[in-house]
Structure formats: structure tokens, C-alpha cells
Amino acid sequence: MGKRHFGWILALGTSVGGLIAAALPAHAGDRETAQATLDTRAAVEQPKIIAWRRDIHEHPELGNQETRTAALVAKHLKSLGLEVRTGVAKTGVVAVLKGGKPGPVVALRADMDALPVAEQVDVPFASKVKTQYNGQEVGVMHACGHDTHVAMLMGVAEVLAGMKDQLPGTVKFIFQPAEEGLPKGEVGGAEQMLKEGAFDNPKPDAVFGVHVISTLHAGDVGYRPGPFMAAADEFVITVHGKQSHGALPWTGVDPIVTASQIVLGMQTIESRQMEVIKEPSILSVGSIHGGNRNNIIPDTVTLNGTIRTFDEGMRADIDKRLRRTVAGIAESAGATADVDIIKGYPVTINNPELTAKIVPTLQRVAGKEHVKLIDKVTPSEDFSFYEQQVPGVYLFVGITPPETDLSKAASNHSPKFFVDESGLIVGARTLAHLTVDYLYGL
């Protein structure tokens, strides 16, 4: 344990925390003392969180390759005296902090991976990293802000480790690789972390996580009970016709016209067949490939697209209706079609009871006017796998500068994605306060 290294923080945290404790009314309980200590310590953490974030931002790593980031995290957690497990799902790090008193177990999760995006933000710590991805040279950038997630959770670990005697329970820190998905054939991310025991010994009673987001201003926190982020499934449809001369279509079976009918037919699944007042759903075709000349009708056409849903029953239902629609239209044309549906992340569902219970904590941390009940969003997130295991809440933390019009802010995944770092202390305090409040009983 790096006693020497952290001595000054412990000394400062203890002395200021002691003053605050002394200033509190005599009836103030352990919980209030812990909350006050936590804020004092979090303020001390702020410059360190920003420094870690900039360092990680300048050295982004793609999914399953986060070795530098994981080493930084593991070293830090070990220096805090935590039990640290590395190499979980390749580069994942899981650490356990045992509080001074018995109590429940809270898991906190940060994802660590960057994206194949060439940064266009003008900051001194902008990424210049390049790597190979799918056979091409690409830039690498923390365009989804996972650098901030790692830095915030490192800060939270330090805050909580320094006051562990005041914690009635256990905190599990989960630093996860590869949230953004992986090239075909590779496994990783939250699902693999769970397979490799991230939630074993001890099993958490609840899980919390935050994602920075361009659609909220720095200082704001967004929450939504129930279905929050979509399930994302990919489909590949191959329509098999019979090649013929473009001037003699009756001598073949035209897969281009059939594929066109399939595109339109599939749109009626969402608009005519699904109960739209229950949950929304989206089906988009992103690519159509077939043929190579004006006067040859090709043999096959391939359609590739995505399905977004907010209910697991509707997700399974759309799967069946998609297959039925494709098969029926293909048959009507005398063609055949193969349908391959590649399951992505499940629906991210925030436990409604737990979400309701944490709202007062969010309001205390961010200020009532900064806590927003937000709409569900159609991107997906593998935090959903953790929430399938235990009650959890996933939150959005704003990072767009308050003076910027939200509609003009570059979105997550954009090469211009910009983080107002003042939002990070709000995110870190949110996670730390949620932990303390949960341990003391919501």
C-alpha cells in the first residue's frame, strides 16, 4: 500500500473531515459524517481525476487492447490497498474494498475502450494514436468519453478507500474492456466479465454506472427508470434469385426487386404490427448490395441493418415477424432468402424501485434543478448485462459546456466530441454518494 504517496491526502481528508464532523450538530449520524467526509475528499480528487483523464485520453486503446489503461488502473487500486484481480475478460480489472463495518455490496463500473476515430478536437492532450482496425489504418480516440469513466472511478476508489472505516459494507470496482463491440470472432465486454466472475465473491446487491453524454450540460445528471437504452440486434438478409439478362427478366428471378419489397415490407412490422404505445422500436436497413452492371440482373442481394427495441418480448417477436416477412415476400417472387439475426446487447433496464430511491441522492449531489428525467435513447450499452444480474441504475452525466447550445454539441462518437471536465466531479461525486447512501440504506 502506498502510504507515503497518499499520506497528504489522508492527512488533509482526515483533518478537514474532522473539522466538518465537529461542526455538525451532535445528533448528526454516521451517514451525514460520511457524506461530508466524502465531499471534502472528492474536492481534493478533482485535479487528479482531470490529470488521469487527460493522460488516458492521450493514450486511447481499442477494445480488448486496453493494456496501458488497465495497468494504470491496477497500480492505482493496489496502491489504495484494495484486493485487485487483473486480466478479467482480457484486460478487465476487478477490485474489492471492504468497509470497516458489515453491510451490503455495491458494484461500480467504468468501461475503458476507445473508438477507431481520428480526433479533431483542439486540446493539448488530443490523441495522435493510430492503429490497424479491420485491415485499415485508423486514428484512435476516446470519442465516447470512456477515458472520463475510468478517471472518475479511479477518483471514487481513492475517496472511498480513504474513508473505508466509515463504510458499512463492500464496494466492488469493475473496470471493463470492449464496451463498444469487437471485430467478428472476438469476445469481450460486460458479458465476458460476468462469465469470468466479475460478480462472484462477493456478489453485488446493486450496480451503478455513469456515462458522459453530449446531450446534457456539464453539471447535469440524467436518469430514467425502466427501459433506458435499446437492445441492438443486427440482421443480414441474403436474397437468392436467378441471374438473367436485364432485358429478359422473365428468364430469371429478380432479387433486386424482391429485396426492395422486403425493405418496404419490413417497415410495416414496426408501423403496422407492433403495439407502438407499449414501447417504440426501430428497424433500419443500412446497406444493400447486389449486382455490378446496368443490364445484368444479379443472382443475389444482401441487406444489412439494425433493430432497436426496449422490451425483450417485443425483441423476440420482431425477430419472428422479420423472418416471416422475408420468407413470405421471397416466396411470392419465387426467390429464397436466408435471414441471420446477430444478437447484440440486451435492453438496458434501470430497476424502477432503485431508481426512485436514488433520486434524492442525485438531487443532493447535483442540485435539484440539475437532475433531469430524460427520454429513453436508441443506442445500446452492455451495462445491460450487469442489470440482468442485480438491480442497477445507469445514469447520464453532462459534459457539454453550459454556454454551448446542446443541439450544436458534437455527439458521442464524433471526432469533435468535447468534454467540459467540470462535469467529471459531478459524475465522481454521484457514484461516491450513491455508494455511501446505498451502504447506509436508501
Residue 414 DSSP one-character state: S
Cis peptide before 255 (omega within 30 of 0): no
Of 254, 196, 414, 240, residue with least CA distance to 338: 240
Catalytic residue selected from 58, 196, 312, 421: 421
DSSP-based three-state secondary structure for 311: coil
Q: What residues from 386 to 425 belong to the interface with Zn ion (CB under 5 A)?
A: none
Give the binding range for Zn ion (CB under 5 A) out of 136-144, 181-189, 223-231, 339-347: 136-144
d(CA 239, CA 242): 10
Task: Quote the cell numbers at residue 236.
Answer: 443480414
Least distance from C-beta 15 to Zn ion, angstroms?
A: 38
Residue among 273 and 284 whose Cβ is closer to Zn ion: 284
Least distance from C-beta 180 to Zn ion, angstroms?
A: 5
Give the binding range for Zn ion (CB under 5 A) out of 67-75, 80-88, 141-149, 434-442: 141-149
Residue among 202 and 379 whose Cβ is closer to Zn ion: 379
Query: Cell 442540485 maps to which residue?
Result: 367
d(CA 221, CA 150): 18
Name residues whose C-beta falls within 8 Å of residue 410's C-beta, 6 or more positions apart in sequence. 214, 416, 417, 418
Residue among 345 and 440 whose Cβ is closer to Zn ion: 345
Which region, left, alpha or beta, applies to residue 334 given φ > 0 means left and ψ of -120 to 50 means alpha? left
Of 119, 330, 354, 67, residue with least CA distance to 224: 354
Annotate each residue in 305-324 with x if it binds Zn ion (CB under 5 A) or - if it does not, as one string.
--------------------
AA identity, residue 22:
A
User: Beta partners for 306?
Assistant: 234, 284
Give yes or no for a contact between 63 and 182, defined as CB atoms under 8 angstroms apart: yes
Residue among 300 and 350 whose Cβ is closer to Zn ion: 350
Catalytic residue selected from 45, 119, 345, 381: 345
Task: Quote the cell numbers at residue 19.
Answer: 473539522
Residue among 144 and 333 whose Cβ is closer to Zn ion: 144
DSSP-based three-state secondary structure for 372: strand
Which region, left, alpha or beta, applies to residue 103 given φ > 0 means left and ψ of -120 to 50 means alpha? left
Residue among 383 and 440 whose Cβ is closer to Zn ion: 383
The response to whether 180 counts as a known ligand-binding position is yes
Residue among 144 and 274 whose Cβ is closer to Zn ion: 144
Least distance from C-beta 149 to Zn ion, angstroms?
A: 8
Residue 379 DSSP one-character state: S
Give the binding range for Zn ion (CB under 5 A) out of 137-145, 260-268, 345-353, 367-375: 137-145
What's the order of all strands across the beta sheet hosting 300-309?
A: 281-289, 300-309, 231-240, 336-342
Which region, left, alpha or beta, applies to residue 87 given φ > 0 means left and ψ of -120 to 50 means alpha? left
Nearest residue (beta carbon) to Zn ion: 144
Give the binding range for Zn ion (CB under 5 A) out of 143-151, 161-169, 187-195, 349-357: 143-151
Least distance from C-beta 349 to Zn ion, angstroms?
A: 18
Residue among 38 and 144 whose Cβ is closer to Zn ion: 144
Give the binding range for Zn ion (CB under 5 A) out of 97-105, 142-150, 238-246, 281-289: 142-150
Give the binding range for Zn ion (CB under 5 A) out of 11-19, 139-147, 256-264, 364-372: 139-147
Q: Is residue 345 annotated as part of the catalytic site, yes or no?
A: yes
Least distance from C-beta 345 to Zn ion, angstroms?
A: 11
Least distance from C-beta 109 to Zn ion, angstroms?
A: 12
The dihedral built from the CA positions of residue 135, 137, 143 and 148, taken in this order, carries a sign that is positive
Least distance from C-beta 279 to Zn ion, angstroms?
A: 22
Annotate each residue in 87-126 with x if it binds Zn ion (CB under 5 A) or - if it does not, as one string.
----------------------------------------
Give yes or no for a contact between 49 and 155, defined as CB atoms under 8 angstroms apart: yes
Contact call for residue 303 and Zn ion (CB under 5 A): no
Residue 204 DSSP one-character state: P
Least distance from C-beta 294 to Zn ion, angstroms?
A: 40
The response to whether 146 counts as a known ligand-binding position is yes
d(CA 342, CA 375): 26
Q: Is residue 421 annotated as part of the catalytic site, yes or no?
A: yes
Contact call for residue 144 and Zn ion (CB under 5 A): yes
Kindly report the backbone phi and psi dihedral angles of residue 136, in degrees, each rounded to the nearest multiple of 5, phi listed first.
-125, 150
Pairing of strands 101-111, 168-176: parallel
List, by residue number, the catalytic residues: 345, 421
- Binding-site residue ranges: 144, 146, 180, 211, 413
- Binding-site residue ranges for Mn(2+): 144, 146, 180, 211, 413
Binding site for Zn ion (CB under 5 A): 144
